[in-house]
Amino acid sequence: MSTRLSDMTPRLDPGHDLGTGPVRTRRPVYVDLMPPCNNACPAGENIQGWLALAQAGRYREAWELLVADNPMPAVHGRVCYHPCETSCNRAEVDSAVSIHAVERFLGDLASRENWPLRIVAPPSGRRILVVGAGPSGLSAAYHLARLGHSVEIHEAGPLAGGMMHFGIPAYRLPRAELGREIARIEAMGVRILTDRKVTDLATERARGGFDAVFLAIGAGVGKHVDIPARDAAKVLDAVNLLHETSAGAPPLLGRRVIVYGGGNTAMDAARTARRLGATETLIVYRRDRAHMPAQAFEADEALEEGVKIRWLTTIKEISGSELTVERMALDGSGRPQPTGEFETLSADAVVLALGQATDANFLRRLPGIGFSADGAIEVGPDMMTGEAGVFAGGDMVPGPQSVTQAVGHGKRAARHIDAFLRNATYVHPPRPPVADFAMLHLPVYADADPNPQRTLEAAERLTGFEEIVAGLSEGEVRYEAQRCYSCGNCYECDGCYAACPEQAIVKLGPGRRYVVEYDKCTGCAACFEQCPCHAIEMLPEAADA
């Protein structure tokens, strides 16, 4: 089947004459376009592909296709902010497919059934050191092991998982689910050494005989801001609060807690404070809700749990248990500006949630490694630093920071490391055009809203760190996967076969799609116009002759 995407023509105008006359000027060609969900996924998952398998009940095949890109679906089904759903064409009709819920189901099922991760290449004899056992390091280790390489992870902390373990509260990510997916990576032969902090990379690399290094130490150090403080109330860092709570040694916060910041970590810190017994928890943020970096659902859930938010407010001074705050106003560019209006608030503890930075000073002794102005590690398009054979990814390199971004970096780095070890260059396959909503030829049908996931009532949530969102049942997962439009990819609905007036379309059998017999085709475009997912294009005759 031809996929001459460079020669694709726009969708035909509704009013034009579909027939081409005695001489055919266009012919239908089957194509595979990029679904918008796949296009938006930072981990590069073939979402449309594994949804199609899931809706058919072929769960293990769906999981195998999923983990070819992402080894931790049970984790991602819980903590990813699912940009795939934001991009889903289905949202234009009723609401997006609940992709993350299906992903979670597949990950949990794999854990229950003990499905192993597969190695797809013979042993290479090459050794790679991964520094950091967070999402990016684990992802890189998995993909490198999958490609036949020997991988050793050196982790400074007592447990693998990084910020997934110590930064994401257990009510969002139960530790048992995380542990099971890490154990599956270890079962491939990946060796994880904990309490092994790397302070001299060159020595560590030489001592272990490593052929390449992937740096993935993350951003686990809280950023600070200078706030005048005299005999201040307890001032903590949000990263430390979450870390100590996850480690089972939460700090004493008192009854009144103020969290300073507007990101996801601020929401997690405030919600954690409520679970630790704070009766009054207030988030102070210098901008308004429309400009906050936190996900909207995170703020909604915090409000449901009794957290209050003071927008357009900044802390100017802390004196004992009293905080002087100033009201802010947004200027024409959306930046907060001081108003000179002050107020006094009271708190037993102040938690600073002002973002995270990377503690990578030990790398400055390597002359080839460069740093950006904000301390991030500079890498090239191949994710290699200026030091030959030393790659970096995740939160320690410039760009958006999330678990899924980090996992995507790990996969990408693994492919470039594999190529480096073979004295080759990895080139990502060209991406086909995205199938947007306007390209679909959807029939008229009733809306099919998603199955809502059950959640704990707000009062129940505050009694501990039990997971607050339940997964979907098997029946609900099948229904949800069936809501997918398969944008840009043929799913063998037989519409083209039935629509062709010349019987020019031949069915090749399940999974093999169709072929056009062009000696019968008149170029009438009936097949194109009825194809619901836009898996057919009408190309100029000369383009495919």
Determine the pLDDT at residue 231.
Answer: 67
Measured CA distances, 49 to 38, 58, 205, 421, 481 (Å): 9, 11, 39, 31, 11
Distance CA 405, CA 216 (A): 12
Determine the pLDDT at residue 240.
Answer: 93
Determine the pLDDT at residue 8.
Answer: 42
CA neighbours closer than 13 Å in the CB half-sphere of residue 121: 15
Token pair recorded at residue 24: 């055919």
Per-domain residue ranges for the chain? 5-32+490-544, 36-115+441-482, 127-220+358-421, 229-354
CB distance 166 to 157 below 8 Å:
yes
98 Cα distance to chain centroid: 14
CB distance 450 to 176 below 8 Å:
no
Burial of 316 (0-12, 13-18, 19+ CB in 10 A): middle
What pTM was estimated for this model as a whole?
Answer: 0.91
User: Topology of 5-32+490-544 in CATH?
Assistant: Alpha-Beta Plaits (3.30.70)
Determine the pLDDT at residue 225.
Answer: 77
Determine the pLDDT at residue 361.
Answer: 85
Nearest to 233 by CA among 320, 124, 330: 320
Task: List own/partner pairs for 427-431 with CB under 8 A and 24 or more apart.
Answer: 431/34, 431/39
Asked whether the domain spanning 229-354 has the same topology as the one spanning 127-220+358-421, the reply is yes
Determine the pLDDT at residue 504.
Answer: 96
CATH architecture of the domain with residue range 127-220+358-421: 3-Layer(bba) Sandwich (3.50)
Distance CA 263, CA 287 (A): 11
Phi, psi of 475 (to 5 degrees): -60, -40
Distance CA 221, CA 209 (A): 30
Domain boundaries 36-115+441-482, CATH class: mainly alpha
Determine the pLDDT at residue 14.
Answer: 42
CB distance 261 to 283 below 8 Å:
yes
Determine the pLDDT at residue 315.
Answer: 95
Determine the pLDDT at residue 11.
Answer: 45
pLDDT per position in the chain (545 positions), as tens? 333 333 344 444 444 444 555 578 899 999 999 999 999 999 999 999 999 999 999 999 999 999 999 999 999 999 999 999 999 999 999 999 999 999 999 999 999 999 999 999 999 999 999 999 999 999 999 999 999 999 999 999 999 999 999 999 999 999 999 999 999 999 999 999 999 999 999 999 999 999 999 999 988 787 777 787 766 678 999 999 999 999 999 999 999 999 999 999 999 999 999 999 999 999 999 999 999 999 999 999 999 999 999 999 999 999 889 999 999 999 988 899 999 999 999 999 999 999 888 888 889 889 889 998 888 899 999 999 999 999 999 999 988 889 999 999 999 999 999 999 999 999 999 999 999 999 999 986 657 878 889 999 998 999 999 999 999 999 999 999 999 999 999 999 999 999 999 999 999 999 999 999 999 999 999 999 999 999 999 999 875 44
DSSP one-letter string for 144-200:
HHHTT-EEEEE-SSSSTTTHHHHTS-TTTS-HHHHHHHHHHHHTTT-EEESS---S-
User: Topology of 229-354 in CATH?
Assistant: FAD/NAD(P)-binding domain (3.50.50)
